[in-house]
Structure 1
Amino acid sequence: MWAGRAVLWALIVVIVVNGVRAPFERFTRQSAPAGTAPAVSESGFPTTQGTSFAIQFAAVYLNFDGARPQERAGRLAPYLPEGAEAQFGWDGFGRMSAGAVQPYGVEVVDADNAVVTLTYQSSDRRQLLSVPVYYDRAAERFVVSGRPGILPAPEPANLPPKAAPDRDGTAERELRTPLEDFFKAYAAGDTASLQRYADAGVTLEGLDGAFTFMALKELVVPLAGGTTREVTATVVWGVPSGPTPSPDSTAPDPGQVGGKLEQAYLLTMVKQGDKWFVKDIRGAHRSVG
């Protein structure tokens, strides 16, 4: 009997403790500020914050001009350890320009050290930059811990050929004129006109005049039947020109002449009666051929 009473009281204590602890834990989780905890690797290195720090450093490090060396030195200072050379390996001559700096990978050495690899574009070259980074856990700060290294970026992958689908010529002829009108409205961002081409319950937004419609170059409708089709359209947009050249210009600047840009879209089309309506528009899949 005493053993049974002891078990019963132990069970009551466990229930009471859990009942008090659960709402307390929910309250503390809800009151904690969202998005403050950095993403960390298994070793504890904060990879997200470390990568952001390395990207900012690379945007300064990879751009220099011998005519303005002090400007670069001042911008580099927030990333370098105390006592580091102001130009961090550059002799102050020459010129380099780089952009499109993006994360490529992180090699975590331990909880305080990692090598962040970035990809960047300089002239017609795509290359990598490895940046060693140290994390001061107590101060929650980063610093570049050694000389970066420029590496060649991987070559583009070999794209295997893809067979073209069997095409529905009848549907392509039916869709050409309605889609030409649709893309004219899509380029202009004409909401009222767009809704005339939209399927029931679908709201479409256009490009708001950023481009003009030039031509529907190609339209591919797979032979598979049905009232719903996945249609690939290659559209030629008109690209706006630059400012009007001055009257004394001797030769036209290509940037001041309107251009053309071909782009591909995948549209989900729905046929109702004898008319086709757009249910969805998005970027197309890979090209055929």
Structure 2
Amino acid sequence: MPLGPTTRRILGLPEAGEWEQKKARAKAKKNKTAIPPQQPATVNPWEAAAAQLKAEQAAPASAPALLEPTPRESTPWTTVEERSGSAFARRIGRGILWALVVLLVLVGAKSLLLPKKAPAPIAAPNTGQGAPDYPTAEAQVTAGRFVRAYLAWDEKDPAARAAQLAAVLPEGADTSVGWSGKGRQDVLAVEPGAVTPATQQQARVRVLALIRPAVETPAPAPGGGQPAPSQSAPASSPAEPSAYWIGVDVPVVQAGGRVIVSGQPGIVGVPAKGPKAPELKGPEGDSAFAQHTSDTVARFFKAFAGGDTESVTAPGISLPPLPAGITLTGVTSWTADKGSGSDRSGTARVSWQIGGAQLEQTYRVRLTRVASADAERWQVAGVTGSTA
């Protein structure tokens, strides 16, 4: 696209055709030749002849008959002084134009060489509901310690309960925490559960506790009569179990870099039975392979309880045996999963003799095929409890 006069003036470029005229003038000056002036478009021959005759009559006798025109030198290039303001404006415009060109080149190179960074994710405001940074593990430990001390009391030693509670309560709190100071009760087990964060660094911890009220044997009455009932024995009916589970909701708060109990807890009920289990589809069985490997599985579980598993496991596999006091009653069932290859799996139900009783359990067994120069056999490569 041809450049306009304004653009040529800003960039300092000559006008169209001006360069060719400059070259022609420079060549004529070098050869010392004059550029003939342009003749008028139309010349009257009678006027020209009259002018020539008059010139011949006026010339002296010694002058030549014909006078050649004197060559007139012409200036091929004329320097025109330019105003300082226009020159400065042209330089400024030219600098701005080149600066824009360089800037566009740099921006394009940066977009090609440097990949765009992904914007940093905006953190959601902390509303206190389900805050992920709440010290859940510490809250469970604090609530478990509190429940173990809170539900265990002995009227003969109230200071022991108070000292244990003081370690998880705020400074200056009442260490009796609602206890009347009477009776005796033991805590057999404590299981901290779900932690539900709330506002102001607070949370609620569900704790399950296995408790057993202590029943003291009444002392015999003087004179051999019937023994008097103990004042500290709880008034429980014979139908109630000696030990049972209860739930406790414990309020905790984060303060001073620790989690402490912030108030009195509340005892809640524990479900008597679990929800209905979903229907789980088991793997398809392979009866032929199960029959072929049933003796291998039976020998393994016998060695598993006897303390020697190296002879029935695959090379390089080490399975620790069961502790003493557990004997094998028998493999109740063995079901192999349908499949192929050198690694197969299946499910075994095994009956053990432990603590004077029989106990049936379920195992997942993994078998691998071991081959030698003249024979091959299946051996156990792994065993885990349950079917999952």
TM-score band by shorter chain is 0.5 to 0.7
2:274 to 146, 156, 159: 156
Between the aligned residues of both structures, percent identity stands at: 29
> Could you list the runs of 5+ residues in structure 2 that have no partner in the other structure?
1-97, 111-128, 213-242
> Following TM superposition, by how much is the alpha carbon of 1:182 offset from its aligned partner in structure 2, in angstroms?
1.3
Q: Which residue matches 1:115?
A: 204
Report 1 or 2 for greater relative contact order, CA contacts < 8 Å, sequence distance ≥ 6.
Answer: 1
1:132 to 241, 251, 271: 251
Q: Which residue matches 2:349?
A: 234
Write the distance in 1 (CA, Å) between the matches of 2:305 and 2:376: 25
> Following TM superposition, by how much is the alpha carbon of 1:151 offset from its aligned partner in structure 2, in angstroms?
0.7
| Bigger Cα Rg | 2
Q: Which residue matches 2:298?
A: 180
Q: Which residue matches 1:275?
A: 377
Secondary structure of 1:220's aligned partner: strand
2:362 to 259, 264, 269: 264
Note if contact 1:265-1:282 (Cα within 8 Å) is conserved in structure 2.
yes
Write the distance in 2 (CA, Å) between the matches of 1:140 and 1:225: 56
> Following TM superposition, by how much is the alpha carbon of 1:133 offset from its aligned partner in structure 2, in angstroms?
0.8
Task: Report whether the alignment pairs 1:189 with 2:291.
Answer: no
Return the letter of the residue paired with 1:66.
Answer: E
> Following TM superposition, by how much is the alpha carbon of 1:43 offset from its aligned partner in structure 2, in angstroms?
6.9
Secondary structure of 2:167's aligned partner: helix
1:214 to 309, 320, 328: 328
Alpha-carbon RMSD: 3.5
Note if contact 2:334-2:346 (Cα within 8 Å) is conserved in structure 1.
yes
Q: Report how many residues are paired.
A: 236
- 1:58-106 CA-partner distances (Å, limit 9, x unpaired): 2221222333222111111112223332221111222333343223212
Return the letter of the residue paired with 1:104.
Answer: G
- 1:243-265 CA-partner distances (Å, limit 9, x unpaired): xxxxxxxxxxxxxxx44433221
1:87 to 165, 176, 191: 176
Relative to structure 1, the CA distance from residue 126 to residue 161 in structure 2 (aligned partners, 3 Å threshold; closer, same or farther) is farther
Higher relative strand content: 1
Scaled by the length of structure 2, the TM-score of the pair is 0.52
Q: Which residue matches 2:314?
A: 199
Relative to structure 1, the CA distance from residue 204 to residue 115 in structure 2 (aligned partners, 3 Å threshold; closer, same or farther) is same
Q: Which residue matches 1:30?
A: none
Secondary structure of 1:276's aligned partner: strand
Q: Which residue matches 2:228?
A: none
Relative to structure 1, the CA distance from residue 174 to residue 222 in structure 2 (aligned partners, 3 Å threshold; closer, same or farther) is closer
Scaled by the length of structure 1, the TM-score of the pair is 0.67
